[in-house]
Amino acid sequence: MNSVINDKIRQVERIHLANLPTPIFPLKTVSKELSRNIWIKRDDFTGVEMSGNKVRKLEFSIAQAMQQGADVLLTAGGIQSNHARATAAAAARLGLKSHLVLEISKAPKAEGNYLLDQMLGAKITLLDENAGISFSEKLAELAESYRLEGHVPYIIPVGASNGIGNFGYLNAFDEILAQEEELGIRFDAIVCAAGSGGTYSGLYLGNKLTKSGRKIVGITVCDNKDYFTKVCTGIVNETLSLLGEEKDPAPEFTFIDGYKGLGYAISKADELKFISDIAAKEGIILDPVYTGKAFYGLYNEVLKGTFEDCHNILFIHTGGQYGLFPKQGQLEEVL
Ligand SMILES: *Cc1c(COP(=O)(O)O)cnc(C)c1O
């Protein structure tokens, strides 16, 4: 591995938390069904407690926090946030405190990620979705109270999707290029779910900096194309300025809308049925909030001809399986 990215990343502070590289393998049944080579990269294998995509970003965010002498990591997300759980796990492993702000619409049950957050010793503030206060306001308020107590807090934004966290998927792109060489394959398209935009931004920037010419596709599981174009332009440019590179005023992103279904983290029967079918066909468990919707999107878009010019397609499994357990009742209905 001696690419442009690798040289740049070596200059950025990083701690190693994830099991890397994560494996890539073909999906035999789905490939046959779609008459296309569909491969999967198992970023759900990055670890057990820190499983999924967020740990790649946290390797850089937490390195920066520690460099600043932080002893408390503050972050936020939905009640079943994978990112919040990965942050709590990383903090516990590193001997730091964690404080999570989790948004709720009703009194939460101790299940899935929220149960794990408590086991991992995180301090938790529940924020009602109608409270009229944003994550960033609440995090700033908590940080201030920690400062007054003599702590050094560090705020990680939702999903660790900012300029520094973005190095996680910039690095993953480099990893994919090296794996392509080993496998003797070239992926025409790389597809992921877009939730807070960091995974997509990192892959996009990797493709751009190495002039690899791949199609990088984000399937939106909340908000829409316009929102992600704005957010990811910000993230990409933050990383470019950390690298001392020129800004990219109008990046050419490819986002696909139409698969968020009833809304963020809300499942429909057809989505859960699809997840269950893939499990039986391929022995792979997708999650209901991100990868289930995104892979459902990819599957349908290939059938519609959107990927006509792409022979080899890589889907990134970004994790999230703990989020299935709170959907147990709904899942039982589709089995
Ligand atoms: C957060 C998350 C995503 C979305 O990644 P972003 O970088 O936030 O866009 C996808 N899959 C899982 C399982 C996640 O937890």
| Structural domains in the chain, sorted by start | 3-52+162-334 (3.40.50.1100), 54-160 (3.40.50.1100)
Q: What is the pLDDT of residues 4-57, one digit of tens each?
A: 888 888 889 999 999 999 999 999 999 999 999 999 999 999 999 999 999 999
Whether the Cβ atoms of residue 18 and residue 46 lie closer than 8 Å to each other = yes
Which ligand 1 atom is the nearest neighbour of the CA of 196?
A: 8
Q: What confidence category does residue 269 fall into, taking pLDDT thresholds of 50, 70 and 90? A: very high
Closest C-alpha residue for ligand 1 atom 3: 195
Residue 1 scores a pLDDT above 50: no
Q: What is the mean pLDDT of residues 222-229?
A: 98
Q: What is the pLDDT of residues 97-126, one digit of tens each?
A: 999 999 999 999 999 999 999 999 999 999
Q: What is the mean pLDDT of the chain?
A: 97
Q: What is the pLDDT of residues 309-332, one digit of tens each?
A: 999 999 999 999 999 999 999 999
CA angle 254, 258, 261 (to 5 degrees): 135
Which residues make Cβ contacts (< 8 Å) with residue 265, sequence separation at least 6?
78, 80, 288, 289, 323
Q: How far is the CA of 170 from the centre of ligand 1 (A)?
A: 15
Would you tell me the crossing angle of helices 269-282 and 291-304 to the nearest 10 degrees?
Answer: 90
Q: How far is the CA of 70 from the centre of ligand 1 (A)?
A: 25
pTM score of the predicted model? 0.97
Task: Output the pLDDT for position 66.
Answer: 97
Q: What confidence category does residue 161 fall into, taking pLDDT thresholds of 50, 70 and 90? A: very high
Q: What is the pLDDT of residues 275-287, one digit of tens each?
A: 999 999 999 999 9
Closest C-alpha residue for ligand 1 atom 5: 195
Task: Output the pLDDT for position 2.
Answer: 54
Q: What confidence category does residue 137 fall into, taking pLDDT thresholds of 50, 70 and 90? A: very high
Whether the Cβ atoms of residue 218 and residue 228 lie closer than 8 Å to each other = yes
Which ligand 1 atom is the nearest neighbour of the CA of 159?
A: 8
Catalytic residue among 51, 61, 81, 161: 81
Q: What is the mean pLDDT of residues 224-238?
A: 98
The secondary structure of the chain, three-state, reads CCCHHHHHHCCCCCCCCCCCCCCEEECHHHHHHHCCEEEEEEHHHCCCCCCCCHHHHHHHHHHHHHHCCCCEEEEEEECCCHHHHHHHHHHHHHCCEEEEEEEECCCCCCCHHHHHHHHCCCEEEEEECCCCCCHHHHHHHHHHHHHHCCCCEEECCHHHCCCCCCHHHHHHHHHHHHHHHHHCCCCCEEEEEECCCHHHHHHHHHHHHCCCCCEEEEEECCCCHHHHHHHHHHHHHHHHHHCCCCCCCCCCCEEECCCCCCCCCCCCHHHHHHHHHHHHHHCCCCCCCCHHHHHHHHHHHHHHCCCCCCCEEEEEECCCHHHHHHHHHHHHHHC
Task: Output the pLDDT for position 9.
Answer: 81
